[in-house]
Amino acid sequence: MDKPSLVVVGTGIRIIGQLTTESAAWIQIADRVLYLVHDPVADEIIRQMNSRAEPLAGHFAEGKSRKESLDEIVAHVMDSVRGGAQTCFALYGHPGVYASIGHEAIRQARAPGYTARMLPAISAEACLFADLGLDPGASGCQSYETKDFLVNGRRADPSSLLILWQVGIMGNPLYQGHARQPETLPVLIERLLEDYAPDHEVIAYEAAVHFDGEPRIERVALGQLAGIRLSATSTLCVPPSRPPRPAAKMCERLGLPLPVAPKS
Ligand SMILES: C[S@@+](CC[C@H](N)C(=O)[O-])C[C@H]1O[C@@H](n2cnc3c(N)ncnc32)[C@H](O)[C@@H]1O
């Protein structure tokens, strides 16, 4: 890529094992590497790969607005690009999945004509499918940021898998270093109870961030969800509660037999 330019990479959820060789190469050769990761192992590995790598975590502070911090981070990345550097912006997970700053940095870099591109990476959702043994193709998959799900009145289809991101911070606009149970959790439970029974099993999921670690998988009845610990890295998985209802007329139009509902 030309100089100056921007490449946005993801380190995966577990840098050991999930960092692609392509992303690793950019971390190693870029003039400047600006990174935001959550665990000390990833931090250490990135610094070993490029001794000039600069952490961006300092933009966050207890009680500071997340949006302000995220805007500052994009501005920091853009200063590097404008300053003439071939810049690598590294984020944990997939840099463009529930990570608006990856896309925003690309947009701001391309606007005045810089070369900018994003590389794919392993997201929390990819880990979830593997750890929970779920195939999104089996029932379809609905995936929402929790606040978006609530505020925009999204309707869940209970015949399809539902994944709720950021359930542990649920609309809290302020950064908090230590996990606290979201005060709005009862609102989410009440909302889900409109479509699911109180005894329907939901799963609070945290992928392991170390290659020899274990994921935290907590299965609980929806009505009991308030009793479990959620963190900033929790993702809520709501498996389907009923089979789909095949559309007879559509099957007829397509010349297909009506699917037989799987036995539950
Ligand atoms: C700002 S998003 C970043 C997602 C990230 N870009 C990715 O590709 O997974 C943060 C949310 O991702 C999910 N997440 C992050 N780390 C996770 C982990 N270790 N296990 C499960 N979910 C995780 C949680 O829903 C968390 O609130």
Mutate to test the pocket of ligand 1, among 233, 236, 238 (most ligand atoms within 8 A of CB): 233
Alpha carbon nearest to ligand 1 atom 14, residue: 233
Q: Calculate what percentage of the chain has a pLDDT beyond 70.
A: 97
* Ligand 1 close to Cβ of residue 165 (< 6 A): yes
Check residue 4 and give its pLDDT: 94
Check residue 57 and give its pLDDT: 96
* pLDDT for residue 62 is more than 80: yes
Check residue 180 and give its pLDDT: 64
Check residue 170 and give its pLDDT: 81
Residue 125 Cα to ligand 1 midpoint, Å, equals 8
Cα separation of the two ends of the chain: 53
* pLDDT for residue 137 is more than 60: yes
Residue 165 Cα to ligand 1 midpoint, Å, equals 7
Alpha carbon nearest to ligand 1 atom 21, residue: 206
Cβ-proximal residues to 58 (8 Å cutoff; 6+ apart), any chain: none
Rounded to an integer, what distance in angstroms lies between the CA atom of residue 169 and that of residue 176? 9
* pLDDT for residue 131 is more than 70: yes
Mean per-residue pLDDT, 244-261: 91
Residue 251 Cα to ligand 1 midpoint, Å, equals 38
* pLDDT for residue 177 is more than 70: no
Under the banding of pLDDT at 50, 70 and 90, the label for residue 263 is: low
* Ligand 1 close to Cβ of residue 102 (< 6 A): no
* pLDDT for residue 77 is more than 70: yes
Mean per-residue pLDDT, 225-232: 93
* pLDDT for residue 171 is more than 80: no
Q: Calculate what percentage of the chain has a pLDDT beyond 90.
A: 89
Mean per-residue pLDDT, 237-242: 98
Give me 56's structure tokens: 């961006």
Alpha carbon nearest to ligand 1 atom 17, residue: 233
The pLDDT mean for the chain works out to 94
Question: Would you list the DSSP string of 18-40?
Answer: HS-HHHHHHHHH-SEEEEE-SSH
Q: Which residues of 193-231 are buried (b: 16+ CB within 10 A; e: fewer)?
A: eebbeeebebbbbbbebeeeeeeeeeeeebbebeeeebe
Under the banding of pLDDT at 50, 70 and 90, the label for residue 3 is: confident
pLDDT in tens, 17-57: 999 999 999 999 999 999 999 899 999 999 999 999 999 99
* Ligand 1 close to Cβ of residue 93 (< 6 A): yes
Residue 216 Cα to ligand 1 midpoint, Å, equals 13
Residue 200 Cα to ligand 1 midpoint, Å, equals 24
Under the banding of pLDDT at 50, 70 and 90, the label for residue 184 is: confident
